[in-house]
Chains A and B, each alone.
Chain A
């Protein structure tokens, strides 16, 4: 069975600091992995996706994530946080594009950015 675990339900950083949001996956087949962002009163918006091409994936708003099979991780990073990055972030997996695209989501990480 596929699953993702997000370590840390809340992460707080200062503006300009590195953002690191952690996600570990478990899957019996090569996974497809996604990071979504949710701003208040909005739906989830895709940040980036990994589909077994390049292991370092660049997304929107300066975010990127690296797929590390040895660590079963897909952590999300951004070199310099901006106030507008404050939101909730979800890691999700769809095991190898099967199951009609059904996604399994992590519990979410709320990112707070301090001035």
Chain B
């Protein structure tokens, strides 16, 4: 299995632009998690899905952030409009069921200028 695949690996854009981060989870893994990692705040859970349905989005920092999971093999995290303070590494993780560990992608390093 290829594991969790995230794209792009790096993104640099100017503030105000729309940013879309993509995640392809492991086949058969029913839960998907989006995290943000920064030096200041560490690893933060933004939102997670179970069977494509958003379960808890309380970690989404603002309305500028949105996430979708239109099917079991694809999810997006969108920031519109982006701001410099959104600069971070964003991770996607997949989980087969609630008793199993989460498997992480290699992340997207986002820089907003």
Interface residues of A, Cβ cutoff 8 Å to B:
32, 34, 36, 41-46, 49, 51, 90, 94, 97-103, 105, 107-108
Contacts and interface: CB of A to CB of B under 8 A. Distances in A.
Interface stretch (B13-21, B76-84, B99-107): B99-107
A100 B42 contact: no
B91 interface: yes
Interface of B: 4, 31, 33, 42-43, 45, 48, 50, 55-56, 91, 93, 95, 97-107, 109
Q: A-side binding surface: helix, strand, loop or mixed?
A: mixed
Contacts of A101: 31, 95, 97-100, 102
Given A43-B91, A44-B104, A105 B42 contact: yes
Contacts of B91: 43-44
Contacts of B4: 43
B42 A108 contact: yes
B103 A46 contact: yes
A9 to B, nearest CB: 10
A42 to B, nearest CB: 6
A18 B96 CA distance: 34
Contacts of A99: 98
Contacts of A42: 106-107
Q: Which of B50, B104, B109 is packed against the most chain A CB atoms within 10 Å?
A: B104
Task: Tell which of B33, B97, B102 has the most Cβ of chain A within 10 Å.
Answer: B102
A49 B101 CA distance: 8
Contact of A94 (B93, B98, B107): B98
A67 to B, nearest CB: 15
Given A43-B91, A43-B106, A101-B31, A34 B101 contact: yes
Contact of A90 (B43, B55, B107): B43
| Residue of B101, B102, B109 with most partner-chain A CB within 10 A | B101
